[in-house]
Amino acid sequence: MKASSAAVNGALAVAGLLAAYVTWQRPKESDGNDNVTVLEATRATLGKIRYEDGSRVLEVFQPEGEKAVWLRQETLPSLLTRLAPPNALQADGGAFAINEADGGSTPETKPAPLDPPRELRGNERADALRLRFTPFEAVRALGKLAAEKQKELGLEGSLRKLTITVSGQPHLFVVSNPQAGMIGTYLRDEKDGAVYLLTGSLLSELEPASQALIDRRLHAFRAPDFDEFVIGYDRQQHPYLQKDAEIPQTMKVAPKATPDKPDDLVRNWHDKVWNRLIVTEVLGKGELPKSGAPKVELRIDYLARGSAKGFLELGKSGSGDLWARTENTASWVGLHTGTDDVIAEAKKFTGLPRP
């Protein structure tokens, strides 16, 4: 065989191996029916979904008896802290910092304390994401792989973990670290060592630092869903009726005592309260602003056919920032600067009687 022919054949062989490797690693073209089921789960059997990226944790869960999906965010101790030997703790049992100069074995000063876990209400996107785990599917099952291959896929030493609880039983998967030129994400089932390939945005949407799954709405109901609201201000109650709210242009607001006398001032003010309050910060269940608990200055109760529908409380913290709390929020939520005038404007129709 001539040297040129051998070179050509060798090049073809290498190209064939490369094509086979790419084909093996690339997900199959899917018609929607050829995915591999990793875990069988239904809406009823699916419990908590926990994803950690090495420094932060996000949990998605639906409490028993509730329709809403909730999120739990948590910050993990640093890797050095987690790997420190037991004798690195200070004598008082407190937190410690690692002295990297001498190999990381000498306690120094205490690090900043971790933020406490935060529980938040999830939005419709969080609910849709949870349903994508029913069942939990991958595009390819690769079986058990050699350690060298797992290292190549970014599984070796990865701190990324996915835990899915089904029927009360947790299932742990190691998630691959991002690799340049790698298509998709790889998972290793810690129970049997099987490796799976995922594509799409499923895990990227679980990114713990993301704010995309948090419900930022003040209310989950619409304006036409209530027909009365009561303004509580300066220890007085001021009830108003709302009619024809399906079309904003025809909506009318009138004092309950004089329902045939629409009040445009109150209507315009309430439109600002209902449609123009923008949430800038969401606190978790039981969490208070760092500047202290807000003092409630204004409360609005919403009713439908005489039954409670929801409420809105507005208050200012020690720093003067405006905060809101409703039936749909886990705790207080911060509002954008400049909206505190809604409290001041309430004086116009909750003070002296107007002609």
Q: What is the pLDDT of residues 121-174, one digit of tens each?
A: 999 999 999 999 999 999 999 999 999 999 999 999 999 999 999 999 999 999
Q: Average pLDDT for residues 313-324, to the nearest whole number?
A: 92
- Tens of pLDDT along 162-209? 999 999 999 999 999 988 877 899 999 999 999 999 998 899 999 998
Q: Which of 301, 222, 216, 286 is nearest to 256 (CA)?
A: 301
> Residue 215: pLDDT above 80?
yes
pLDDT class for 17, splitting at 50, 70, 90?
Answer: very low
Q: What is the pLDDT of residue 348?
A: 80
Backbone Cα Rg of the chain: 29
Long-range contacts of 42-46 (CB under 8 A, 24+ apart): 42/134, 42/135, 43/131, 43/134, 45/166, 45/167, 46/130, 46/133, 46/134, 46/164, 46/165, 46/166
> Is the distance from CB of 314 to CB of 343 less than 8 angstroms?
yes
- CA angle (56, 219, 214) in 5-degree steps: 15
* Interacting residues of 230 by C-beta distance below 8 A, sequence separation 6+: 237, 238, 239, 240, 300, 301, 303
Q: What is the pLDDT of residue 4?
A: 54
What single DSSP character describes residue 283?
P
Instruction: Specify the length of the chain in residues.
Output: 355
* Interacting residues of 78 by C-beta distance below 8 A, sequence separation 6+: 55, 111
Pairing label, strands 195-198, 140-143: antiparallel
Q: In the structure encoding, which two tokens stand for residue 76, read together?
A: 């993990």
SS3 category, 126: helix
Q: What is the pLDDT of residue 182?
A: 79
**42 or 93: which carries more pLDDT confidence?**
42
Q: What is the pLDDT of residue 24?
A: 47
- Tens of pLDDT along 224-276? 999 999 999 988 899 999 999 999 889 999 999 999 999 999 999 999 999 99
Q: In the structure encoding, which two tokens stand for residue 223, read together?
A: 């304006």
Look over the chain and give the mean of its residue pLDDT values, rounded to a whole number: 85
In this prediction the pTM is 0.79
Q: What is the pLDDT of residue 349?
A: 77
- Tens of pLDDT along 263-275? 999 999 999 999 9
The counts of H helices and E strands in the chain are 6, 19
> Residue 352: pLDDT above 70?
no
Chain position carrying tokens 């929020």: 329
> Residue 20: pLDDT above 90?
no
> Residue 35: pLDDT above 80?
yes
Q: What is the pLDDT of residue 179?
A: 82
- How many CB atoms neighbour CB 55 within 10 A? 13
**304 or 107: which carries more pLDDT confidence?**
304
Q: Average pLDDT for residues 66-86, to the nearest whole number?
A: 78
pLDDT class for 22, splitting at 50, 70, 90?
Answer: very low
> Residue 60: pLDDT above 70?
yes
Q: What is the pLDDT of residue 82?
A: 54
SS3 category, 271: helix
Cα(344)–Cα(42) distance, rounded to whole angstroms?
A: 50
> Residue 93: pLDDT above 80?
no
Domain boundaries, the chain: 36-77+104-206, 223-350
Q: Which of 235, 205, 83 is nearest to 133 (CA)?
A: 205
